Amino acid sequence: MKQEYTQSAGELLQQLDVTAQGLSGAQAAERLQKYGPNRLKEAPKPTLLQRFIEQLKDPMLIILMVAAAVSAVTNYFSGEGFAEVFIILIVVLLNAILGVYQESKAEAAIEALQTMTAATSKVLRDGKQVLLHSDELVPGDVVVLEAGDAVPADGRLLESASLQIEEAALTGESVPVHKIIEALDLDGKKDVPLGDRKNMCYMGSTVVYGRGKALITRTGMDTEMGKIAGALAATEEEQTPLQKKLDQLGQTLSKLVLGICVFIFVFNLISAGRFDLDTVLSTFMVAVSLAVAAIPEGLATVVTVVLSIGVTNMSKRNAVIRKLTAVETLGCAQVICSDKTGTLTQNKMTVVDHTGSDEKLLATAMALCSDAHLNDKGEAEGEPTEAALVAYAAKLGLPKGELEAAAPRVDEAPFDSGRKMMSTVHKTDSGWVQYTKGAPDEILRRCTTCWEGGKAVPMTEEKRAAILADNKGLADRALRVLAASFRNWDHKPEQNEPAFLEQDLCFIGLTGMIDPVRPEVKDAIVECRSAGIRPVMITGDHKDTAVAIATELGIIQSADEAITGADLNEMSDEELDKNIKKYGVYARVQPEHKVRIVTAWKKAGCVTAMTGDGVNDAPSIKSADIGVGMGITGTDVTKNVADMVLADDNFATIVGAVQEGRRIYDNIRKAIQFLLASNMSEVLGVFFATLMGFTLLQPVHLLFINLITDCFPALALGMEKAEPDVMNRPPRKTSDGIFAGGLGVDVAYQGVIITIITLASYILGHCMEVGFFEMPKGISDDGMTMAFLTMSMCEIVHSFNMRSQRKSVFTLHSHNKVLWGAMIGSLLLTTIVLEVPFIASAFGFTPVSLPEYLLALLLAVLVLPIVELVKLVQRSMARKRSA
Ligand code: ATP
């Protein structure tokens, strides 16, 4: 077959049985059946069994399995039965199954987020332009390409208005390729390299400039990308800083524990003075129980689950997390740099004022020099600024369709936010006319004449000053001001380069359009301030407009806090770094300035979030600590590099996400504190009991508490509502470790309290059965039963303490229903283990009488008032310190 690029567009359209108006819905559906979705194959996911085995590789579980084996051997020789072995194995299995389940759920949550930000394409179907998931594209579809779009599949270009595409992913060449539509002549050669196929576009490349249309020829795995990629490696979700720290903590703990275990093992053997198999094995089991006690098995799972539930919640509030690490960084955000248009304002523009002597000419120029159009219902559709201009012209009796019929567009220099202008060339009855519209300062600089009284008069300094004053008048009213100009040609301009076209212009007039601020943003900014976060506005718009809006929103108090891109150009990086904190508004900036601004804020030591939508915003989004892409107006390029995408483009959503980020981090800390305090109490308990000559709890008991009873409250803590002051305190420092803010001390003292309570219960339980003044020795089943019951309940009660690190639980207004549920679940499980005869005997428990239950309960509840008391002291100490 002839290559697509050597054929004419017409031939190809015919071959693919489609017109330039695109496929019908029915045709597309049929082709989708035949060719399959436009997707690259993903590497196969691990099977359930593989995941399960992966879980069993956990060092902790390996220790347990060894313990089970040892226990099996001892019990075989001593003829004690295998209850313990079975329990260990069941717990290991349960833990692995739970792990697989949680992991898959978390993964599904993240995947759901990914589909929310999946790429879309503008496709012609049934003659209309619609937005579809790029998955649904088929050969024969006609797609519209604009600056910032990712090319969704391989295609042959049908239209190119200065279209430039960057194909580095395929060719390694980062200089964009100017695209054409004519068929290529191979000149006798068999083929040309991909980078030279200038009338083609390929999946994996991005449009960086201009506009065009392409006929899709290959999709999915048939594309060039598909051929290279083979199969996409499943994206590895990077661990968050906290997860990494926890991993390190886990490793340190394991090593420490191993050391202590060996020590205890040797110490016990030597002090026993006997080395027969029985003694060796029972000593080994004590060492194992210590290991079980010390290692927080549930921690990693709890963190993963809380994170994944958190990101799902965030997505419901329109903040779609793309990189899990962003959740934590959000809680540390100190500066939020936001675009103005659409994020702080509604991006609903209406022209409300104008200047200039000929309003009809002004409206004509504005409407013709824009890509918006009127739909069947007479409403303007397109980019909001341009739609407002088209609507404005229509209101003056100049519908765009009629204007275009009289003066069709023959060439253009598309808008870009660096130049802040756009030009179109039109063929009229009398010749050619070019309209250029854009930022007034830019346009005015290129005007040599001015349209007055029906003719072009020379531009004088007075006129220029008067126009600038008009501009300021409009801008001070928070209006977005655009200028229009024209240039007559007696022939079609030879080039469409902006520099060639945009000179020697004739000034027509200005339009001022209102773009109301988003009502919720004002409150969000107040919230930012109380949360110690600095809101900053970055905009391409005029300084006066920006200042007016920023003042209204409370971002700045005076115009001194605003600076322009031109001012930035005058400043060295050092100067900017020194002064960055003085400015809250950066106006008339170009995308390149944004990188300098983020870098300066970061150098000032601030964790910085930055929004972006345009094709050139990707570098600044990438360099920000939290890159925020826009879901509605954003380009694929920015969304793809963003850490978070706003489904509603709203500034208030960022602030909401910060709050959620802080809540998630707080809750993870609560769960960590809870689990570590629990482990601490177990280690201390086992250790001191050994010193006193008795065994506190068997490995299976500790295992049950750690993996079953503790897990539910820990997860429930992860779902705790935000504390009322989450947004009234300064951001967390990124350097803060897990134990920051006195968490380490809290874990330690709380662990000690639970240890004392449990030991007391053991001794009381033992003495209640065998008589007082009979201190336990070796293994006391009665003591163990009471210790198990008390410790389980104590943990449950303690989880309520954890609802707030320093505040009294009784002052919290929110309720955590899940925690109550967890409490009931944990209580139920503990009761089952103690009361169902065959399970109780498998665990080696003795029957518990009512007084014993009550005693255990009484002891367990003690943890609540004690911790409340300590919190009271801590609060008063904190008050004294801050006074
Ligand atoms: P923000 O950066 O807050 O979104 P913005 O929308 O003003 O602000 P840009 O889209 O980069 O930023 O626009 C910069 C300037 O270019 C605008 O202030 C306006 O003067 C001009 N401009 C915007 N859109 C067009 C357009 N379609 N045609 C011509 N000029 C435009």
Instruction: Identify the pLDDT of residue 229.
Output: 65
Ligand 1 atom at minimum distance from 440 CA = 20
Are residue 134 and residue 171 in the same domain, yes or no?
A: yes
Does 244 map to a domain? yes
Instruction: Identify the pLDDT of residue 772.
Output: 64
| Single residue among 514, 537, 571 that ends a domain in this structure | 514
Are residue 785 and residue 708 in the same domain, yes or no?
A: yes
Residue pair 166/174 in contact (Cβ under 8 Å)? The answer is: yes
Residue pair 330/660 in contact (Cβ under 8 Å)? The answer is: yes
Helix (H), strand (E) at residue 456 = strand 455-458
| Single residue among 514, 531, 561 that ends a domain in this structure | 514
Distance 103 CA to ligand 1 centre (A): 45
Find the domain containing 555 and state its range. Answer: 319-345+519-649
Ligand 1, atom 5, lies closest to the CA of: 540
Distance 366 CA to ligand 1 centre (A): 14
Ligand 1, atom 11, lies closest to the CA of: 417
**Cα 711 to Cα 95: distance, rounded to the nearest angstrom:** 10
CATH code for the domain of 577: 3.40.50.1000
Does 725 map to a domain? no
- Active-site residue, 339 included: yes
Ligand 1, atom 25, lies closest to the CA of: 438
Tokens read off for 380? 């303007």
Does 90 map to a domain? yes
Tokens read off for 112? 């759901």
Distance 630 CA to ligand 1 centre (A): 16
Are residue 173 and residue 302 in the same domain, yes or no?
A: no
Are residue 267 and residue 123 in the same domain, yes or no?
A: no
Does 204 map to a domain? yes
Distance 452 CA to ligand 1 centre (A): 27
Are residue 380 and residue 504 in the same domain, yes or no?
A: yes
Tell me which of 442, 538, 541 to substitute to probe ligand 1's pocket, judged by most ligand atoms within 8 Å of the beta carbon: 541
Ligand 1, atom 17, lies closest to the CA of: 541
Ligand 1 atom at minimum distance from 383 CA = 27
**Cα 677 to Cα 679: distance, rounded to the nearest angstrom:** 5
**Cα 608 to Cα 622: distance, rounded to the nearest angstrom:** 11
Are residue 93 and residue 207 in the same domain, yes or no?
A: no
Q: What is the 3-state secondary structure (H, E, C) of 713-734?
A: HHHHHHCCCCCCCHHHCCCCCC
* Nearest alpha carbon to residue 510 among 414, 372, 389: 389
Residue pair 620/612 in contact (Cβ under 8 Å)? The answer is: yes
Residue pair 883/740 in contact (Cβ under 8 Å)? The answer is: no
| Single residue among 234, 259, 279 that ends a domain in this structure | 234
Distance 540 CA to ligand 1 centre (A): 6
Distance 343 CA to ligand 1 centre (A): 14
Are residue 576 and residue 464 in the same domain, yes or no?
A: no
Ligand 1, atom 14, lies closest to the CA of: 540
Instruction: Identify the pLDDT of residue 266.
Output: 85
Are residue 206 and residue 286 in the same domain, yes or no?
A: no
CATH code for the domain of 180: 2.70.150.10
Q: Catalytic pick from 141, 339, 666, 746?
A: 339
CATH code for the domain of 265: 1.20.1110.10
**Cα 679 to Cα 692: distance, rounded to the nearest angstrom:** 20
CATH code for the domain of 478: 3.40.1110.10
Helix, strand, or coil (residue 2): coil
Does 33 map to a domain? yes
Ligand 1, atom 30, lies closest to the CA of: 438
Does 530 map to a domain? yes
Number of domains in the chain: 4
Does 641 map to a domain? yes
**Which residues of 480-632 form beta strands (DSSP E)?**
480-489, 505-514, 534-538, 562-564, 585-587, 608-612, 626-630
Ligand 1, atom 12, lies closest to the CA of: 540
**Cα 48 to Cα 692: distance, rounded to the nearest angstrom:** 46
Helix (H), strand (E) at residue 791 = helix 781-801
Instruction: Identify the pLDDT of residue 655.
Output: 96
Ligand 1 atom at minimum distance from 481 CA = 20
Ligand 1, atom 2, lies closest to the CA of: 539
Instruction: Identify the pLDDT of residue 436.
Output: 97
Distance 839 CA to ligand 1 centre (A): 72
Are residue 370 and residue 502 in the same domain, yes or no?
A: yes
The whole-number mean pLDDT for each consecutive block of 10 residues of the chain, a chain of 883 residues, reads 82 89 92 90 80 80 78 75 78 82 80 76 90 92 91 92 88 87 83 88 90 92 80 57 81 80 81 76 76 75 86 91 88 94 93 95 97 90 93 96 95 90 95 96 96 94 95 94 96 93 96 95 95 95 94 94 94 93 94 92 94 87 93 87 92 95 93 91 88 82 83 89 90 86 91 94 83 69 89 93 90 87 89 89 86 91 95 92 83
Tell me which of 339, 417, 424 to substitute to probe ligand 1's pocket, judged by most ligand atoms within 8 Å of the beta carbon: 417
Are residue 500 and residue 433 in the same domain, yes or no?
A: yes
Q: What is the dihedral of CA 384, 437, 122, 170, to 10 degrees?
A: -130
**Cα 570 to Cα 585: distance, rounded to the nearest angstrom:** 17
Distance 500 CA to ligand 1 centre (A): 21
Are residue 142 and residue 256 in the same domain, yes or no?
A: no
Tell me which of 420, 617, 621, 638 to substitute to probe ligand 1's pocket, judged by most ligand atoms within 8 Å of the beta carbon: 420
Strand partners, 416: 421
Does 48 map to a domain? no
Residues near ligand 1 (Cβ within 6 A): 339-341, 383, 385-386, 415, 417, 420-422, 437-439, 482, 539-541
Ligand 1 atom at minimum distance from 541 CA = 18
Tell me which of 370, 371, 539 to substitute to probe ligand 1's pocket, judged by most ligand atoms within 8 Å of the beta carbon: 539
Are residue 543 and residue 613 in the same domain, yes or no?
A: yes
